Structure 1
Amino acid sequence: MNLWIQGREQALKLCTLSTGDSVYRYYKSIVIPFEQPRKVSSTAVVNGGYREDLTAVFNNDCNPGAGMACIMRAPIYQEHMKLITEEIGLDPAKTAGMGTAASMENVAIHTQTYENLTVTAIVTGGVEVNGGRVGDPADYFQPIDKSSIEKPGTINIILVIDADLPPGILNRAMVTCTEAKTAALQELMAGSNYSTGLATGSGTDQTIVIANPASPLYFESAGKHSKLGELIGRAVLPAVKEALHKQTGLSPDQQHSMLRRFKRYGIKEETLWQAYAANTDKAVIKPKFMDALYQSDRDNFLVTYAALYVHLLDEMQWELLSGKEVQQAGNELLAAAAAKYGVKAPEIIGTGLEDYLQAWKVLLLGITGEKCTMLKK
């Protein structure tokens, strides 16, 4: 199918869904025009909620270019989305859309089947800037007009279920879909940008769930005990991981990093350099220190020790281990790591979070200092 939108871009057909609907990419959007009536439940600001009269859905990249902020095309978000919908070539009154800063080139599409049931997840996303944990401290509380501008979504999911579902179960499918997204972030150990916790999503995630009322299959369960729920998880979880990898490189390999594991606890390159420069008489220039630090950052043993140490801090934060228990285990890890790298083992003196972090900083600066000495030889 060749579609031209105002002469700007030819539509690329990505796939045909089991429902018979096609998925296209054009005009910086992922678009699904419906061949037949569909049941849709979505978080879309325009035409969101539960609908049976929609003729299409889409996911749009509002980023004008690399390193540039998203730009609203109108004073209010609803008008902005209407303009985008019209430019895509769809009916604004019968279309639900999502906005994002993620590139549509980085879309991930995963399909799972069981007998004659098919579930497809179509995902874009990133959490490097906007990732957070539910319940994180927030400073935004401003009741505003219903026509206010909304922020674009970050992890956006279109979930297509080739089965008929009642409205409540369609919403339950969205819950299962959200759990799968959070499980993907958990498996990647993606940190919140607003607390010491692990991210459960971004602050602006959006989801569209589509069911097929023409299907002979009819389900009244979409939770984890149902096969439908299983397929949702098995489609969404890897799709979220793939989309995050494509968008920002977030992956197991990227997370194999001591610094990334400690980022949410505030241990960063610049603060480590400042601490080293303030407490050593050795003439080490910053580039050489950073070189040694980055060598430590990817060291297999140190990444392993860091992962265990950070998890101890998490267990204490969640009140699953006491401060004394974490202090004892933490000191054992510090001693083992220090022996491995031939440096003096620091000791955790108190039972406060800062005490544990300070001890790790001392260990890391000792290891990095030794590497700096080796680099000078």
Structure 2
Amino acid sequence: MCIKQILKKFAHPRVPAPQITLLPKWEKEEVEAVNITADMLQHRKHHIVLRSPIPLKTMSSGVVGSGLGWNQTFVNRHVDKGYSCSNHREEMMNYLREKGFDPLETVGMMTAVVLDDVSYKWMEHGGLSIFVVVTAGVGNAVDATHSESHSSEFIPGTINTWIFINAKITEEAFIQGMVTATEAKVRALEDQKVIDSVTGTYATGTSTDSILIAATQRGEQHDFAGTITALGKLISKAVYWCTRESIQKSQKRK
């Protein structure tokens, strides 16, 4: 099989200068499709983990593995509501190492939500599929339009959202997917009548929500993930459903 090379230009992460990378271009591409499904999700006592058989392109706001990258392991760790640490990122990396995870290929999040309240859903339409995982509690619900009324103290993430996309997507779609997911989350909170206890208005989230979008980068390409696109429709429906169900589970504990 003949291999050609192509040039790819990327933005440098620290300075306003391009990075040039040589990539192989196969005349005949033989890449098997890989689908992320519920079978890959493992529920442990102190964390939920998903291990992908291949590295996934990711965009996240996790404690570890934030920003753009390629990651193969995804961990949502439970911590007590009173969790306090001067360097939570370093402490999280130590936790991952102790549990046998490589921090360099892991997206790690923290949550004070009881992990039994997790909700997840696999959805497919027209050959496109996604898998969404949400842990949601609303103990520190906040209306973003009145955020100045709240303390800036760090609280472990309360609504953590994972979105795994079994397709190839653009960076534009990553960003649009986050917008679509956020809109669906806000609607779920409104429908569950979640109130910001400080302002008395409807909450739009919690003070430390976190999100992950991960794509296999295999199969059909999707350039957009806005609310009326095929991908956006799946994201909005799955995120809404999982957020609502997880909140309902959490509220039943009170």
Cα deviation, residue 150, structure 1: 4.5
Deviation at 1:186, TM superposition (A): 1.2
Does 1:163 find its partner at 2:163? Answer: no
1:95 equivalent in structure 2: 106
Corresponding position of 1:42: 60
Cα deviation for residue 46 of structure 1 reads 2.3
Give the secondary-structure state (helix, strand or coil) at the position aligned to 2:177.
Answer: helix
SS of residue in 2 equivalent to 1:38: strand
Out of 236, 248, 252, the residue aligned to residue 245 of structure 1 is: 248
- In the TM superposition, what are the counterparts of 1:102-113 in structure 2 within 5 Å? 102-113=113-124
Residue pair 1:77, 1:150 contacting (<8 A) in 2 also: no
Counterpart of 1:40 in 2: which secondary structure?
A: strand
Q: Which residue is equivalent to 1:345?
A: none
CA separation in 1, counterparts of 2:189 and 2:63?
25
Give the number of equivalent residue pairs. 219
Distance 1:150 1:79, change over 3 A: farther
Q: Which of the pair has the greater relative contact order for Cα pairs under 8 Å at 6+ separation?
A: 2
Judge conservation of contact 1:176–1:233 (CA < 8 Å) in 2: yes
| 2:215 alignment partner in structure 1 | 211
| Alpha-carbon offset, residue 117 of structure 1 | 0.7
- Could you state the TM-score of these two structures normalised by the residue count of structure 1? 0.55
1:251-266 correspondence to structure 2 within 5 Å: none
Give the deviation of 1:161 after TM superposition. 1.0
Report how far residue 36 of structure 1 moved. Answer: 0.7
Instruction: State the partner residue of 1:234.
Output: 237
| Post-superposition offset of 1:28 | 1.4
User: What corresponds to 2:136 in structure 1?
Assistant: 125
**Partner of residue 176 from structure 1, selected from 148, 162, 180:** 180
CA distance in 1, matches of 2:248, 2:151: 29
User: Sequence identity, in percent?
Assistant: 27
Secondary structure at 1:183 match in 2: helix
Q: Is the 8 A contact 2:132 2:239 kept in 1?
A: yes
RMSD: 2.1
Secondary structure of 1:102's match?
coil
Q: Please state how far the C-alpha of 1:97 moved relative to its aligned partner.
A: 0.8
1:44 aligned counterpart, secondary structure? coil
Residue 221 of structure 1: how far off its partner (Å): 0.7
Give the TM-score taking structure 2 as reference length. Answer: 0.80
CA distance in 2, matches of 1:46, 1:19: 21
After TM superposition, give the deviation of residue 139 of structure 1 in Å. Answer: 4.9
Q: Which residue of 2 aligns with 1:152?
A: 156
**Between structures 1 and 2, the one with greater helix share:** 1
- The residue aligned with 1:3 is none
Please, which of 35, 47, 51 is the counterpart of residue 18 of structure 1? 35
SS at structure 2 position matched to 1:35: strand
Query: CA offset at residue 201 of structure 1?
Result: 0.6
Separation of aligned partners in 2, 1:202 and 1:75: 21
- Deviation of 1:92 (Å): 1.4
Q: Determine the C-alpha separation between the residues in 2 that align with 1:249 and 1:130.
A: 17
- Structure 2 residue aligned with 1:265: none
2:25 equivalent in structure 1: none
Say if 1:47 and 1:94, in contact at 8 Å, map to a contact too. yes
Aligned counterpart for 2:77 among listed residues 35, 48, 60 = 60
- Cα distance between partner residues in 2 of 1:81 and 1:24: 19
**Structure 1 counterpart of 2:74, one-letter code:** V
Q: Report whether the alignment pairs 1:185 with 2:196.
A: no
SS in 2 for 1:195: coil
Alpha-carbon distance in structure 2 between the residues aligned to 1:130 and 1:139: 10
Letter in 2 for 1:71: Y
**SS in structure 2 at match of 1:181:** helix
Q: Specify the SS of the correspondent of 2:58.
A: strand
- What secondary structure, in the 3-state scheme, does the structure 2 residue paired with 1:37 have? strand
More strand by share: 2
Do the aligned partners of 1:50 and 1:167 also contact (CA within 8 Å) in 2?
Answer: no
In 2, the alpha carbon distance for the partners of 1:121 and 1:115 equals 18
Long gaps (5+) in structure 1: 1-16, 64-68, 142-148, 255-377
